[in-house]
Amino acid sequence: KKASRSFKRKDTVVKIKEGLEIGGNHIIMMAGPCSVESEQQLRTIAKSVKKSGAHVLRGGAYKPRTSPYAFQGLEIEGLKLLKQIGDETGLAIVSEIPSADLLPEFEAYVDIIQVGARNMQNFHLLKALGKSTKPILLKRGLASTIEEWLMSAEYIMAGGNPNVILCERGIRTFEKYTRNTLDISAVLAVKELSHLPVIIDPSHAAGRWDMIEKLSLASVAVGAHGLIVEVHNDPEHALSDGAQSLKLNKFSQMMDELDKMAVVL
Ligand code: PEP
Ligand code: MN
């Protein structure tokens, strides 16, 4: 199988754009709001996370909300804002694709196409992404095994796209204290089983901002190639996932802690 370690012994390094790669020794930081809410919101957050050292701006334009009455995202306008502010700041862009029919728009506006946890086994979507030239950030499903997750990567690779980045974002367990349970050992497991780069999303795992810094340090310690973190300029008024979003200064502080840790490692 194309995703497996036996198929390729050397770690895969995925090129995100000119001068930016993931899968080497350097930790790639992706940060930004859960949802793109407005031009001003996105620009404020983007400038700040860029200054703090982030490489990639995250932002949802099509939001997979549990309730149909919750904010659904700015959709195509959100993608255009991401592209515009990515160009302004020099940050690469990652955003979640809701369905295969929007692939041309995502090809035009983002650098990394995110497959959300709820779509990890949308095989029709995975096949379509196998034809894409963009790197794919494949989140682990809400209750998926590591084997199922890697098989989903296989769908994308079998279609002809070798540029898959895995993302552990917490799984459903009996434990209710946190939103999900961060499976930190999944990083070790996929590095053993696969050559693909793997990152951690501590925000959706914990569901609360006050655990993000420590979980991020743990992610780097365990060997993750990067992090994707939710950051907001005004979390109390965020249209989605405010409770797990770091304020701008907290993200900056966390980056300092990660820098200190990189010296140790
Ligand atoms: C997100 O990144 O905002 C998101 C919805 O993530 P997940 O698919 O991991 O729930
Ligand atoms: Mn979110």
Statement: residue 263 has pLDDT above 80: no
Mutation probe of ligand 1 site: the residue of 122, 201, 227 with most atoms within 8 A of C-beta: 201
Please indicate, yes or no, if residue 199 is contained in any of the structural domains. Answer: yes
Please indicate, yes or no, if residue 236 is contained in any of the structural domains. Answer: yes
**pLDDT band at 130; cut points 50, 70, 90:** very high
Show the domain range for 96.
14-264
Q: What single letter denotes the amino acid at residue 110?
A: V
Please indicate, yes or no, if residue 110 is contained in any of the structural domains. Answer: yes
How does the average pLDDT of the chain come out, rounded? 97
Please indicate, yes or no, if residue 135 is contained in any of the structural domains. Answer: yes
Distance 250 CA to ligand 1 centre (A): 21
Please indicate, yes or no, if residue 3 is contained in any of the structural domains. Answer: no
Statement: residue 261 has pLDDT above 90: no
Q: How many other C-beta atoms lie within 10 A of the C-beta of residue 67?
A: 7
Measured from the Cα of 114, ligand 1's closest atom is: 2
Nearest listed ligand to the Cα of residue 242: 2
> Could you tell me which residues are beta bridge partners of residue 112?
94
Q: Which residue, judged by its Cα, is nearest atom 6 of ligand 1?
A: 116
Statement: residue 257 has pLDDT above 90: yes
Q: Is 33 in the pocket of ligand 1 (CB under 6 A)?
A: no
Please indicate, yes or no, if residue 65 is contained in any of the structural domains. Answer: yes
Nearest listed ligand to the Cα of residue 180: 1
State residue 81 phi and psi, 5-degree precision. -65, -40
Please indicate, yes or no, if residue 195 is contained in any of the structural domains. Answer: yes
- Indicate the number of domains in the chain: 1
Q: Which residue, judged by its Cα, is nearest atom 4 of ligand 1?
A: 116
CB-based contacts of 133, cutoff 8 Å, min separation 6: 107, 161
Q: Is 232 in the pocket of ligand 1 (CB under 6 A)?
A: no
CATH code where residue 97 lies = 3.20.20.70
Write out pLDDT tens, residues 208-246: 999 999 999 999 999 999 999 999 999 999 999 999 999
Please indicate, yes or no, if residue 154 is contained in any of the structural domains. Answer: yes
Nearest listed ligand to the Cα of residue 169: 1
Whole-number pLDDT of residue 92: 98
